[in-house]
């Protein structure tokens, strides 16, 4: 008896949001990159705990093809902007005040973090933030960046 295992591939739905920097961002603009997409809010303690880690990933892997995108569900933009400035966040922060993109991604609990490969496939989705999440995120990102490098015909 031959068994065939089919794995469902979830394509990351495209969206467009304004960043707190005033620019408009579309997820598909980052196709070809590995994307860490994090739904969060300032009022969420585990979300705040994840920010320094995501900033460190941004600093460490951005030149290798990682894009970190934080999607804030905060209602007040001024509170969000003050927090981002105080924390020194350098990665892309988008404002999803009405929660439309969070709904598109079924991000009903915060934080919800997704990792998207260079072909636009969601390869990981986690809710919450712990040290074990951090270790898993970095391990997965390293693997995906290596796959991206090889797909581009480079020696990695």
Beta-bridge partners for 36: 68, 115
Largest CA distance in the chain: 62
- Whether pTM exceeds 0.85: yes
Strands 112-116 and 121-127: antiparallel
**Which residue is it, tokens 């990102």?**
141
Q: What is the pLDDT along the chain (156 residues), one digit of tens a residue?
A: 444 444 567 999 999 999 999 999 999 999 999 999 999 999 999 999 999 999 999 999 999 999 999 999 999 999 999 999 999 999 999 999 999 999 999 999 999 999 999 999 999 999 999 999 999 999 999 999 999 999 998 887
User: Rounded to the nearest 10 degrees, how much is the dihedral formed by the CA atoms of 84, 87, 91, 94?
Assistant: -20
Structure tokens at 76: 């007040």
**Per-residue 3-state assignment (H helix, E strand, C coil) for 1-56:** CCCCCCCCCEECCCCEEEECCCCEEEHHHHCCCEEEEEEECCCCHHHHHHHHHHHH
């Amino acid at each position: 008896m031959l068994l065939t295992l089919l794995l469902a591939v979830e394509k990351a739905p495209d969206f467009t949001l304004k960043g707190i920097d005033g620019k408009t961002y579309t997820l598909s603009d980052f196709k070809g990159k590995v994307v860490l997409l994090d739904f969060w809010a300032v009022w969420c303690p585990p979300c705040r705990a994840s920010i320094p880690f995501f900033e460190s990933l941004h600093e460490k892997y951005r030149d290798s093809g990682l894009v970190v995108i934080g999607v804030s569900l905060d209602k007040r933009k001024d509170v969000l902007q003050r927090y981002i400035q105080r924390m020194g966040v350098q990665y892309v922060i988008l404002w999803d005040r009405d929660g439309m993109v969070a709904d598109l991604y079924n991000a009903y609990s915060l934080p919800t973090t997704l990792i998207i490969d260079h072909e636009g496939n969601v390869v990981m989705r986690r809710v919450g933030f712990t040290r074990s999440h951090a270790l898993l995120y970095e391990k997965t990102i390293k693997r995906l960046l290596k796959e991206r490098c090889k797909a581009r015909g480079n020696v990695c």
